[in-house]
Structures are given as C-alpha cells and as structure tokens.
Amino acid sequence: MRILVTGAAGMLGLDLCEAVTAAGNDVCAFPRAELDVTDAGAVGLAIRTTGPDVIVNCAAWTDVDGAESAEDAATAVNGAGAGNLARAAAAAGAWTIHVSSDYVFDGSKASPYLESDPTGPASAYGRSKLAGELVVAESAPRAHTIVRSSWLFGAGGKCFPKTILRLAAAREQLTVVDDQVGCPTFTGHLAVALIEIAGERVPGVVHVAGAGACSWYGFAREIVSSAGLECEVLPGKTEDLDRPAPRPAYSVLGTERGPAVPLLPDWREGLRAFMAAGVRTA
C-alpha cells in the first residue's frame, strides 16, 4: 500500500510516516514546505505523480486562538485545503483519510460524543475543521474516512506534555484548568490506527482517541508525577485565562461504529510511551 501523507513534518505526520514504513508500506511524505494544500494545482500534481492508494491529510492550521482573528486563513487550510486533497484523490481513485477534531462539538454534552451527534463548533478553529469534514464528504463521497481525534501529543512537535515538563522543571507551582475534560491522544498510537483504517477503507466518520478521559489539570498532574518533578500542580478555571478562543468544556470522544474503529490504549499508556522516548523539553 502506498500512502501519501500531507503535513508530514508535523507531530502526527512524523509519527505516521514512521509507522507507515515500519508496517512495510510505501510512504510519500509531503511536509508543508513541499506541498501547500491550499494550492489545488500543486495538490493534483503531487497525487498524479506519486500514485498513492491512500492519502492521509495531517496538514492543518492548529493555532486555536490565532484562528479567532484569522478565520479565513484557518479555513483555507482546514477547509478548502482538505477539499483540494479529497477531489484530487477521488479523481485518481485513491482513498482519503482526513484528520479532524473534537472541537467540531460545542462541549455541552455530559457523556462521550458519538459519530452521529450533531456538531456545533464554538470557535473559529472548530468551524474551520467542520468545513473540512463537509468538503471532504462532498468531494469524495464514496471514498473517504473522517477521523476525529483529540488533545494530540507526541515526540515530534509542540504539545501540552512538553510545555508542562518545561514549566514544572523551572517552577515550584503551576495552575492548570480543571474545567475542560477530554481524551489525551498519543500520536504514536493514532498513527498505527490510521494505517489500520487505511487498510480496511473504513467509510464515513469515526472517533479515534486515547481511551479514558481527564481534565488538563489531571493530565498535568500525571505528567509531573511521571517525570518525578517536585512542582505542585493546582486546579484553575478557564475563565481566568482570558484566551481569545472558547474551548469545549467536555469533548470526550466515544464511538458507535463497533469493530470498524480501532481502539487506542488508555491515555496514560500514551503518556508512558511519550516519556519513554526521552522527550523532556518543549
């Protein structure tokens, strides 16, 4: 199987390219510097030239707060860019896997969000990700998988655990919000699941995230404890941060797709794998 990966220099993209090769498949890695997904002509040429069986779109605008003042730019990448890939993939007979986000939900539910739950993003970033989902489904109606995941962290890029490790090593005390709950997801685990989905051609929307759930505060405490640091972690409130973009208070992802959806290990196992990689700085 030949898999084309966009955003190949990003956190998930790096792990995915490594996992594709480890699984004995061919990878066509396109970092942003080599393929701008907003350029439809370049996207079409890349797909025609490489002839992939599957395209996994890891390219994304990920600056949640920045999207509030630059929604058009965020949507150009997360929406129109995703559409460019799906259309070119469909024309070439390739399957599209589009990585989306828990932020397509508003966070008002009190039980895990399922694939059939209505979307209602509260932020510009969430709206841009939902735009991507809609255009992928329209552009490749019979040959796509939309994979919603959440709270990604990994060795290859900026992420919450790296930030907490850096701050906890320098401070005696940290305050982290405890009123946002989600599913921390290790990109090394998600990458393997994406390859499984590619092989099975699982259609439609699926939720794939680290098992279990916690708040950012709970996540931070586990990170600090895992590193053996002495920093005290205190609970805080989202409203005290005064950040531009609203965040879902509850965005735990569940699935109703049964055995079609790969189940990831518990988020604590993901953290252990992250720590074992020896990544201790931001």
Residue where the block lists tokens 């955003």:
7
Residue where the block lists tokens 């190949």:
8
- For residue 52, what is the enclosing H or E element? none
> Does residue 141 contact residue 201 with C-beta atoms inside 8 Å?
no
103 is catalytic: no
Residues 6+ apart with CB under 8 A from 49: none
Longest dimension (CA), the chain: 56
Where helices occur in 2-50 by DSSP H, the ranges are 11-22, 40-50
- The tokens describing 182, both together, are 């989600």
- The tokens describing 276, both together, are 């074992």
| Neighbour-count burial for 185-197, b at 16+ CB within 10 Å, e otherwise | bbbbbbbbbbbeb
Q: Which of 103, 125, 217, 250 is catalytic?
A: 125
So which residues are the catalytic ones?
125
